[in-house]
Structure formats: C-alpha cells, structure tokens
Structure 1
Amino acid sequence: MANQVEVKSLLDAGVHFGHLTRKWDPNMAPYIYMERNGIHIINLYKTAAKLDEACEALRKIAASGRKVLFVATKKQAKDIVAKHAGEANMPYITERWPGGMLTNFVTIRKAVKKMALVDRMKKDGRYETLSKKERLQVDRMRDKLEKNLGSIVDMTRMPAALFIVDTVREHIAVKEALKLGIPIFAMVDTNANPRNIDYVIPANDDASKSVDIVVKAAADAIKAGLEDRKKEKNAEQPSPKAAKKEASNEEEE
C-alpha cells in the first residue's frame, strides 16, 4: 500500500478526475471510488499501488538492458512524454502512430535508415552533387522522417514493453502490441477498457499535471533500472589494481 504522501501528490495533480459517468467503461468499476457531479472519481489508493507495481516492473526491464517505447500523441501529453522519455534515454512516439510500427518493424527500420543515409550524404559530399530540386526533395523527406521517427532512431530492435497515455486514442498501438505479445503499461481513464492492459494505472489521462506525475514516476523508475545495470556491470569488472595483480600472477606462472 502506498503512503499518504504519494496519494496526496496524486490528488494535487488531479489524477483522480475521471470522465463523465455516461462515458464510462464498466470494466473500470474496480478502480472507481465514487461519483461526484456526474463525474467518476478514481480511487487514488489503487492508483498509487498500481503505479508502484508498474514502476517496479519498468525498473527491471531497464536493468535488463531492454527498451520501453513511450506512446502519447495527444496535445497535452506529447511534450511531457518527449521530455521524460528523452531524459530516461527511451524511444517515444508523440506524432502520428506509424501503422505497422511494431507488426512491420523491418519496414519502419528501413525508413529510419533513410535518415542516416541522408546524413552520410551530407558528410561525404554526395548531397552537394544533387540538383537544387533533388536536394529540396531529400530535405523534405528527411524532415518528415525526423518528425515522425526521429525519436526511435536508436531503437534497433523491438521494444520490451509499451508505456501508453490514453489507450482509447492509441488503440492501434494497443492492438499491435497485443498481437505480438508485448506487455503494455498504460494510464487508463474511466472511459477505457483495462482488460487487455498488463499494467493498468487508473488515472486522468487528459490533464497535463496528471500525465506529468505518472510519466515522471515511470521514467524515474527506468532511470533507476539503468543505474542498477551500470552498477552491476561495474561490479563485474575487476578494479585496475586487481587486474594488474592478476596479470602479474599470470606472468609469474
């Protein structure tokens, strides 16, 4: 059970405000505390507990060296997700979800490689040999790819999990992840179906403060996992002094 301070922080951020009662999904009933003025109020004790559970799982994924793909294309969430996911060195999609992003990952990777090709052309001088019209076309293509896929340049293999803000809006991402058996972590509001989500975080997915506090917690957990991985790697490497002694022993033998 989370402590009162955690719940108060969620309360201050407005995480408890759900949708109008007439827009609810009955499957969210276990996470709803009450109805007030025609709006469902989310049980923040359950939110805090579920957030803790999700963060622990995210930390383990990061510690294993795998990537978590963040997805949020709604206006009030995209900048927040780009900031926190970027700081955690994780890939993210904040523009339109590219159809087949997961189910046709090879094609998406080819598109990303086109960006790298243009960059190489600019470095080795081939870009300058193109006509003005061709350079304009290449630049437009590069800019479009950068806008939609620039944040996943370093994602060379399928993500280990998805973190989604608003599963109703990002239903295509949810569908692709389900098809491939990729675990889904998500902020789920009272108008969404939580049944297919592996790690449900019942929360207001419309208010920027609510999105910020939840996504930051997830990103901080990932950072902690990366730190765990770094410490583990350092522990496995012998100190310079120990390595020198080992080398000296080998020479004596």
Structure 2
Amino acid sequence: MAITIKTMIQKGLHFGHSRQAWNPKMTPYIYMESNNIHIIDLIQTYSHLKQVLRFLASSAAQGKTILFVGTKRQSSKLVSKIARSCGSFFVTERWLGGLLTNWSTVQKSIAKLNDLELQEKNNSFDGLPKKEIIKLKKEKNRLNKYLGGLKRMKLPPDILIIIDQKKEINAVLECRKLGIRSITILDTNGDPSIADLFVPANDDSITALSFILEEFLKYIKYGQRKFNKFQRDLH
C-alpha cells in the first residue's frame, strides 16, 4: 500500500494522546486538538517516515543488525513477527536492565539458553533425576521468555527500533549511553529531544503500528537483498 496522507489517516496514524498526557516538546508535530485528543501533523509523519525508510534501506544494504523492542502486550506478537520476517532480533517480553550496557553478562545468559536447548534436542537430559530435568527445563523456559529473540545475537545491534518511548525508556537511555542509533515511533506523550530518528505517530493502535512496521520491513528487506547481491558478487 502506498504511503499517502489519506492512507495514514485510514490507518489512524494521526491519533495522539489526550491533552493531559501531552509532552510540550511534541508541539511542533501536533496539527490540532480535537475532543481533548491531540492530532498529529501527518505532513511531519510522512517526512520523518520517508527519512527513516531511507536510513533502514541504506543500513540493511551495509549488513547492519537491527533489534526491535516492543513489550506492550497488544503489539508484542506483531513486533516479533516483523522482526522474524527480516531475520532481525527482538525483545517483546521485558527489557532487561543492562541488556546493552552490560552485554557480556547478557551474552552468558544467551549462551546458557542455547546450550540448554541443544542439550534438550540431543536428549542429554535423559537419565538425569526427574527433579533436575524439571529444574533445567524451567531455567530454559525462563531464559527463552526474555532472551528468545536474541539467541543468534553475537554482538550488540547496530540499530534499535523502539515502539513506545515511555515504556522502553531504559532501552532509549542505553542506546544514548552507547551511541547506538535508534528509531522510535513517537506519540504525543514522547520526548523528541532524547529520540534519535523518529516517526511522530500513534504508538497504541495495532492498525497504525502494523502499517508503519510493514513499511519498515519492506525497506529492510530491500536493503538486505542489495547486501546479499553485493556479497555474492564479491565471491
């Protein structure tokens, strides 16, 4: 579906939060107020979205790695689906403090998860006491819950895609501390001064998020095809 103002209205990208939840720093991206709800300026949304899509295509064409972060229950399945579709990483349960800033510790937990899954696959649990098997499976499930979307991540990602700045503020701050580029879907309660690249848009509606993330996916895949072609041409 083409990106037009009409389409963005149909998908509900323009609905912000109530005036009470408004962050004054978002004023430049607000078109008007209607029934106590801020309406996002879709001309700005269009401009920022195009900029982000160009960045994603270019980054993917360079082989950059991407981590999607969206732990809101209503959008977690959508986020993991989009991430898997382009072979990216994802966090959809809870952002573990220090996931990036304390990467070496997180790396050990990921290694442990991969090891437990391999042991289970190879039937290495067989023969162990029943109590021990239950304990190991419980540990594997716990690690998989929080780190399942990072199993193949060997290094911190090059880019984070963040859905809902307020909910994922710890991820935002870790990116800023480490100088990792981030892309945020930024609603009217967000703070553009701590966002890197962002798209001013509704971050609550599944319809709106699905439209934006599908566009992200399209451009990431386009960039990945260019990267893969370049790799093939090298050989």
Consecutive unaligned residues in structure 1, runs of 5 or more? 238-253
Q: Compared with structure 1, are the counterparts of its residues 36 and 124 closer, same or farther at alpha carbon in structure 2 (3 Å cutoff)?
A: closer
Deviations 1:196-216 (A, max 9, x none): 111110000011101111111
Give the drift of 1:227: 0.5
Are 1:186 and 2:184 matched, yes or no?
yes
Matching residue within 124, 127, 145 for 1:126: 124
Q: Secondary structure at the match of 1:80?
A: helix
Deviations 1:68-125 (A, max 9, x none): 1100001221111111111011001000111111011111111111122113323555
Q: Secondary structure at the match of 2:192?
A: coil
Paired residue for 2:205?
Answer: 207
- TM-score normalized by structure 2? 0.95
Give the drift of 1:234: 2.5
| Residues in 1 aligned to 2:4 and 2:128: alpha-carbon distance in whole angstroms | 58
Q: Secondary structure at the match of 1:215?
A: helix
Paired residue for 2:52?
Answer: 54
Q: What are the within-5 Å matches in structure 2 for residues 116-195 of structure 1?
A: 116-195=114-193
Choose 1 or 2 for highest CA Rg: 1
Paired residue for 2:83?
Answer: 85
| Residues in 2 aligned to 1:127 and 1:100: alpha-carbon distance in whole angstroms | 31
Are 1:105 and 2:103 matched, yes or no?
yes
Are 1:94 and 2:95 matched, yes or no?
no
| Residues in 2 aligned to 1:193 and 1:57: alpha-carbon distance in whole angstroms | 21
Q: Compared with structure 1, are the counterparts of its residues 124 and 16 closer, same or farther at alpha carbon in structure 2 (3 Å cutoff)?
A: closer
- The aligned amino acid for 2:192 is P
Q: Secondary structure at the match of 2:75?
A: helix
Q: Secondary structure at the match of 1:201?
A: strand
Paired residue for 1:240?
Answer: none
Give the drift of 1:143: 0.8
| Residues in 2 aligned to 1:48 and 1:89: alpha-carbon distance in whole angstroms | 26
| Residues in 1 aligned to 2:3 and 2:100: alpha-carbon distance in whole angstroms | 38
Aligned residues: 234
Q: Secondary structure at the match of 1:127?
A: coil
Give the drift of 1:29: 0.9
Paired residue for 1:64?
Answer: 62
Which 4+ residue blocks in structure 1 deviate beyond 6 angstroms? none
Identity value in percent: 36
Paired residue for 1:28?
Answer: 26
| Residues in 1 aligned to 2:118 and 2:81: alpha-carbon distance in whole angstroms | 28
Q: Compared with structure 1, are the counterparts of its residues 190 and 134 closer, same or farther at alpha carbon in structure 2 (3 Å cutoff)?
A: same
Deviations 1:44-72 (A, max 9, x none): 11101101101111112111112111000
RMSD, aligned CA: 1.4
Q: Which has the higher helix share?
A: 1
Matching residue within 224, 232, 235 for 1:234: 232
Give the drift of 1:150: 0.8
